[in-house]
Amino acid sequence: MDKIIKIDQLEENMAEDRRQRKTKKSIQEALIQFLQKKPLNKISVAEIVHEADISRSTFYLHYDDLYDLYDQLNNHFLDGLFESFETYYPTTQTESYFELAQRLINYIDKNKTLFSIFIKENTVSVVNRLFNIFVDKVMQFEKINKDDLQRYYEIVWSVRGMMGIVIEWTQHDMKPDKDDFIEIVRSILDKL
């Protein structure tokens, strides 16, 4: 009998988790919808709860305020981006940076609405955060000491350059299409 109770409790917890995930997704989708039309500081919790079809108390059960919701959405996006970076970063000299670039571009394309919103909404903060994290990660992966200024500035140049063309591509409505853009990146990387 204990096993049945435990299984029932497990199923109940799974259902509750599923409901919570569905509610959070609904809230996040409502925020994304509004962010496509206006800046964060012009959006109210009332608009979000109305669009998500939830109560105000349900919103506050999951988030402290709109900025907490925005930050959690941003952090979730960045976690996925950094996970792709860490998974596909070349570990040997024979591996190419192209696969890494391709995977990051695919991730950004898959999440283009969010990426565009984050870049538009808070360009300097988001770009600087991305830049600092990517530079630190490359320095760690390459085992480069920050005192090696030559290598440090090579990494800064590479990261800023890659980020710059991806941001530029995003700000031009991702034209050319993803596959053509990936080929442009391949051509640039081949020249380096």
pLDDT in tens, 66-99: 999 999 998 899 899 999 999 999 887 767 788 8
**Side chain identity at 62, as an amino acid letter?**
H
Q: Which class is domain 1-63?
A: mainly alpha
Give the pLDDT of residue 181: 94
pLDDT, tens digit (0-9, with 9 covering 90-100), for 7-25: 454 455 555 588 899 999 9
% of the chain residues with pLDDT over 70:
89
Which has the closest alpha carbon to 2: 10, 13, 14?
A: 10
Give the pLDDT of residue 10: 46
How deeply is 169 buried, as exposed, middle or buried, from its count of CB atoms within 10 A (0-12, 13-18, 19+)?
buried
> What DSSP designation does 44 have?
-
For residue 87, give the H/E element and its range.
helix 66-88
Give the pLDDT of residue 25: 94
Give the pLDDT of residue 179: 93
More confident residue, 63 or 90: 63
pLDDT, tens digit (0-9, with 9 covering 90-100), for 100-129: 899 999 999 999 998 888 887 665 677 888
Query: What is the distance between the alpha carbons of residues 68 and 63, in angstroms, rounded to a whole number?
Result: 6
- 37 falls in which pLDDT band (50, 70, 90)? very high
What is the DSSP code string of 99-131? HHHHHHHHHHHHTHHHHHHHHHHSHHHHHHHHH
Query: What is the distance between the alpha carbons of residues 68 and 77, in angstroms, rounded to a whole number?
Result: 14
